[in-house]
Amino acid sequence: VAAALFLALCVATGASAAMRPVVLLHGLMANYEAMSHIKGWLEQDFPGIYVHNSEIPKPYSPDGRINSVLIPMDKQAELLNAQIEADGNLTDGFDLVCHSQGGLTCRAYIEKYGGSKVHNFVSLAGPHQGVYGVPIYNGECPDWKCPELAELMAKWAAEGWNVTFAQYWKDPFNYARYLATNDYLTAINNERADSQNATYKRNLVGIGGNLTLVMATEDHIVVPKESAWFDFYAVGQDKTIVDMTETDGYKGDWIGLKTLNEAGRLQRLAAKCTHQDLPREQCKSVVYDAIIKPRVGGQLP
Q: Is 100 a catalytic residue?
A: yes
Torsion angle defined by CA atoms of residues 170, 173, 179 and 182, in that order, rounded to the nearest 10 degrees: -40
- Alpha-carbon distance of 135 to 115, in angstroms, equals 28
**Of 95, 171, 219, 231, which one is the catalytic site residue?**
219
Q: How many CB atoms lie within 10 A of CB 148?
A: 9
The catalytic position among 26, 52, 99, 275 is 275
Q: Of 184, 172, 155, whose CA–CA distance to 75 is shortest?
A: 184
- Is 171 a residue of the active site? no
What letter would DSSP give residue 129?
Answer: T
How would you class 288 by CB atoms within 10 Å of its CB: exposed for 0-12, middle for 13-18, buried for 19 or more?
A: buried
CA–CA separation, 56 vs 107, rounded Å?
15
Catalytic residue among 100, 119, 171, 231, which? 100
275 among known catalytic residues: yes
Q: How far, in Å, CA of 166 to CA of 168, rounded?
A: 6
CA dihedral angle for residue 216, residue 45, residue 116, residue 15, rounded to 10 degrees: -170
The residue type of 273 is: C
- Which parts of the chain are beta strand (E)? 22-25, 51-54, 94-99, 118-124, 211-216, 232-233, 241-242, 266-271
Q: Write out the catalytic residue numbers.
A: 100, 219, 275
